[in-house]
Structure 1
């Protein structure tokens, strides 16, 4: 037994009784590989062989130590050699450490494992499923969900504004700031900023294009800020969180969300202020679009105190940015909601 390598050839004197009431006999107890051999001291003849794993102590903590070969055996031996006692105790510790768990303990271990799986399924799987669905969604699917959200928004904000000349202007603005496949929708209400929807769709309110302080650079700034926020937090992922795990699973398996999955999401989206990305991220979008960030910053805080980073790090503070819209296109965009 490997637990006894350090006790090889260990022997100790002791007293052995064959049964209760029998005369005691002086013996030598010897440790074998897995046995305790008891040898008569006078005749040098072995009188008993005990299995070490089965040996049990009858008087724990007392001296001399009394042992029996098993729970129902009449034999008994007394030992007072500390090294021999330590060897037998070590055998028992090793056996207990390697003993298979009881049926009761195994049952609890199984229950705990099942509980961990349930917790994982509840708290890890749904978020992972949502992220996976957002990551693999093709452009057409994103655009379809974006249009569904816009339809939900129109129920409370009114239909999107449209006039031929204004539509041309907003398409030019979207291509200028975002890309050729992008679109900007104008709603006949106050949105206090721009919001990016899933797909290349950004919405702005009529308040952003009308009024004495309105300017193409300010509109462009809010549109670019919405793109920066979408790069930090995928708008599709936010929509899927609202739709829920079951609806997202249906999206993965059938390719579309249930019709009612996004009901009310548009109103919730507009009830919160537009999300803002870190200044460094926002400034990167302004630099790539060749748009000054100061007009946008001043529209958020005319004093400039709360947006000092966007003003001082304006990528075109000392350079000339590109024109956002021509004068004709700007007028057409301002009139897009006129009846």
Structure 2
């Protein structure tokens, strides 16, 4: 392996210590086929160092100090007089370094290869097939990262999310009650009309939903409806359908979306009207959440005329046995924006 056959079994004297706390001792260093063998003066081997894992601590200085990769406490010192040994070691290290795989180059080759393969397949598959594949393989952590990127853009327009410390436990309790996790709700002072959802599972709420109603079932209803919209169409899929083929390809091959794509999607979230949902699906979702439909229905239309189906089919007309929030938490939640 050495590639320096003329130096087989080359020897030189040096100073070696096993740890940083040990005294240095005189040793004999032998250059073998794939290792440096360090022996005492009686020719008893003390240790073997792999040539592939040999590091020099002080390039260009003398005495030359070497150590195994990852263990700078164990050292070998070779004086400037050990010219042949030093020359052999340094030549070996250069040869080995040239033979090491170059991660950056390999990563670039793999990335370009993957991009070429995907691009070729894109001309065969329908764009919808590529979109479906991208949505399928993107992990949750990347979805959350995209959602955070969208939220940061939305808050430039809406203002920072409401975060009164005393009200945070109430917001978390509401999220846990309706979404089975305590960290999916964000209340914004402006921007969104009522609610919106992001990749990663975050649901945005306008502050009016917690400030303008006396019944916690109203914002709870809007949250259930928005969660249903997110379940009906993956928000990442909706983003990529709007952004087009090249955004799907970029996300699949590079793991990112352009700032322009995120800006455009943030604008769509703030301006697009909410998708209407069939009454049957809404009633099923409210039933599963143990939530009344009537408060939500009257919040949408105070006359009740356009939401009569939700009012008449309320699964809990006299109230559910599971409250949305305690009275104290509801009062705290209403002050989350400092009101």
Q: Does 1:217 align with 2:217?
A: yes
Distance in 2 of aligned mates of 1:123 and 1:302: 53
1:28-51 deviations in Å (ceiling 9; x for gaps):
xxxxxxxxxxxxxxxxxxxxxxxx
Change (3 A) 1:150 1:181: same
Task: Find the counterpart in structure 1 of residue 198 from structure 2.
Answer: 197
Task: Find the counterpart in structure 2 of residue 310 from structure 1.
Answer: 310
1:280-321 deviations in Å (ceiling 9; x for gaps):
222222111111111001111112111112112211125534
Give unpaired runs (5+ residues) of structure 1. Answer: 1-119
Deviation, structure 1 residue 190: 5.8
Change (3 A) 1:273 1:219: same
Deviation, structure 1 residue 123: 11
Distance in 1 of aligned mates of 2:323 and 2:153: 34
Change (3 A) 1:133 1:121: closer
Distance in 1 of aligned mates of 2:214 and 2:135: 35
Task: Find the counterpart in structure 2 of residue 177 from structure 1.
Answer: 178
Q: Does 1:232 align with 2:232?
A: yes
Change (3 A) 1:123 1:173: farther
Task: Find the counterpart in structure 2 of residue 280 from structure 1.
Answer: 280
Task: Find the counterpart in structure 1 of residue 131 from structure 2.
Answer: 130
Distance in 2 of aligned mates of 1:228 and 1:321: 22
Change (3 A) 1:325 1:292: same
TM (norm. structure 2) is 0.60
Contact 1:195–1:226 (8 Å) recurs in 2: yes
Deviation, structure 1 residue 215: 2.4
Q: Secondary structure at the match of 1:203?
A: strand
Task: Find the counterpart in structure 1 of residue 169 from structure 2.
Answer: 168
Contact 1:286–1:292 (8 Å) recurs in 2: yes
1:4-31 deviations in Å (ceiling 9; x for gaps):
xxxxxxxxxxxxxxxxxxxxxxxxxxxx
Change (3 A) 1:194 1:282: same
1:111-159 deviations in Å (ceiling 9; x for gaps):
xxxxxxxxx9689722222222223322212211111111111121111
Q: Secondary structure at the match of 2:320?
A: coil
Contact 2:292–2:319 (8 Å) recurs in 1: no
Distance in 2 of aligned mates of 1:255 and 1:190: 28
Distance in 1 of aligned mates of 2:175 and 2:299: 20
Deviation, structure 1 residue 250: 1.7
Distance in 1 of aligned mates of 2:328 and 2:242: 41
Task: Find the counterpart in structure 2 of residue 258 from structure 1.
Answer: 258
Distance in 2 of aligned mates of 1:296 and 1:124: 44
Q: Secondary structure at the match of 2:249?
A: helix
> Which 4+ runs in 1 deviate beyond 4 A?
120-124
Task: Find the counterpart in structure 2 of residue 330 from structure 1.
Answer: 330
Distance in 2 of aligned mates of 1:292 and 1:246: 44
Across the aligned residues of Structure 1 and Structure 2, the Cα RMSD in angstroms comes to: 2.2
Q: Secondary structure at the match of 2:204?
A: strand
1:4-15 to structure 2, matched below 5 A, reads: none
Q: Across the two proteins, how many residue pairs are aligned to each other?
A: 219
Task: Find the counterpart in structure 2 of residue 298 from structure 1.
Answer: 298
Change (3 A) 1:309 1:289: same
Task: Find the counterpart in structure 1 of residue 156 from structure 2.
Answer: 155
Distance in 2 of aligned mates of 1:318 and 1:324: 14
Contact 2:196–2:226 (8 Å) recurs in 1: yes
Distance in 2 of aligned mates of 1:133 and 1:284: 30
Q: Secondary structure at the match of 2:196?
A: strand
Task: Find the counterpart in structure 1 of residue 271 from structure 2.
Answer: 271
1:60-209 to structure 2, matched below 5 A, reads: 125-180=126-181, 182-189=183-190, 191-209=192-210
Give unpaired runs (5+ residues) of structure 2. Answer: 1-120
Contact 2:191–2:270 (8 Å) recurs in 1: no
Q: Secondary structure at the match of 1:133?
A: helix
